Amino acid sequence: MPEHQPFISVIIPHWNGIDILSECLDSLKASTYPFFEIIVSDNASSDGSQSWLKSHHPDISLLENDANYGYAGGCNLGARIAKGSILVFLNNDTIQDPDWLNHLALSLITDESAVAVQPKILNYYQRDLFDYAGGSGGFMDVLGFPFARGRIFLDQEKDLGQYDDSRQIFWASGTAICVWKDAYEKAGGFEESFFAHMEEIDLCWKFHLMGKRVYVEPKSVVYHKNAVSLPMQSHWKYYLNHRNSLLMVLGNYSFPLSIYFFTMRFVLEWVAFFYAFTKFDFNHMTAIIRSLIWILFHPHIIIKKRKNIRRLRKIKDKHFLNQLHKGSIVFSHYLFGKKKFNELS
């Protein structure tokens, strides 16, 4: 590490689950990086998490929010009291290698254009499997569908060292995303209308429009208990994923591209609906309908988001599109059977 090591604020949004949080904090306190603080932004937990933290971890900064503001709101509130020049937003259902912060900090320090970096994220229960939430760096196609090195939709690869190179990516996972505080503040933080899911992709999208870069540093390793907080096939998770993805397409592209890509997405939403119908997956079906209704009745949020994007934009669409997968990951995966990142052209 360089002689000057910046102070890091690790911010953990939390809502219920003392056992999960306890293991995370025990692991985090074993980190070898010398200069960091821990902030738990508690979203009005009902299980006594607040009193447990005061009793068992009095050295941690506890922010007691008056309601459940989700991942996005909880992180933003925690960032307001953070002392560090680097912020790390960390899920409470993770454990970390002891030197994970060292590698993340070094990655940001050594590249002036880098504003965000994520570690390699592996599954907590199967340590040689890339985790669903981020793998070894996130990417996205032009229609707003995310995927990662090590995970395309529900197909996860084993970690055989094939994605151990530090490289530029499109999005860093909110499971453990490390950012410069000044860039995070300039971007406006996380979009709180997202509540949870894909807010980190949206933040990284804004970073790219600002002309900055996002990286993955696989020397840093975090293990994640995926879907502990919200089951994979719950109506709420389906809804947030569909709604927030559509919100990004409508809010972040230039107006002509927004209309163009949303039209194609609208068709694919109905394809997904009828596919869910064949599986009798009513949670998914109703989530898709609910997300489309939300988009229809919230034009004011889309307009507000577009105004903020215009304020941040430093690069033109033709340059931005180079950061995206040109084809459709849906077609590549479901029609052509490509299940691994290195199979994509």
* Residues 115 and 47 occupy one common structural domain: yes
Residues 117 and 241 in one domain: no
Q: Are residues 105 and 44 in the same domain?
A: yes
- Per residue in 142-153, pLDDT tens? 999 999 999 999
Q: Length of the chain in residues, anyone?
A: 345
Q: How far apart, in whole angstroms, are the C-alpha atoms of residue 243 and residue 296? A: 11
Q: What is the model's pLDDT at position 327? A: 87
Q: Report residue 226's pLDDT band, with 50, 70 and 90 as the boundaries.
A: confident
Map residue 269 onto helix, strand or coil: helix
Same domain, 103 and 74: yes
Residues 135 and 247 in one domain: no
Q: Report how far residue 232's alpha carbon sits from residue 235's, in angstroms, rounded to the nearest whole number.
A: 9
- Point out which residues pair with 10 in neighbouring strands: 38, 88
- pLDDT score at 233: 81
What is the tens place of the pLDDT at every residue in 235-283?
999 999 999 999 999 999 999 999 999 999 999 999 999 999 999 999 9
Look up the domain containing 174 and give its range. Answer: 9-224
3-state SS, residue 102: helix
CA angle 127, 111, 10 (to 5 degrees): 50
| Residue at which a domain ends, from 193, 224, 255 | 224
What is the domain count for the chain?
A: 2
Report the percentage of the chain scoring pLDDT > 90. 93
Whether 343 is covered by a domain: the verdict is: no
User: Does residue 112 fall inside a structural domain?
Assistant: yes
Q: Are residues 25 and 169 in the same domain?
A: yes
In a domain, 341, yes or no: no
Mean pLDDT of 318-325: 92
Q: Identify whether the C-beta of residue 213 lies closer than 8 Å to the C-beta of residue 168.
A: yes
- pLDDT beyond 80 at 36: yes
Q: Are residues 253 and 144 in the same domain?
A: no
The Cα 55–Cα 58 span in angstroms is: 6
CB-CB contact of 122 with 243 (8 Å): no
Q: What is the mean pLDDT of the chain?
A: 96
Q: Is the pTM of this model over 0.75?
A: yes
Percent helix, strand and coil across the chain, each to the nearest 5: 45, 20, 35
Q: How far apart are CA 123 and CA 223, in angstroms?
A: 5
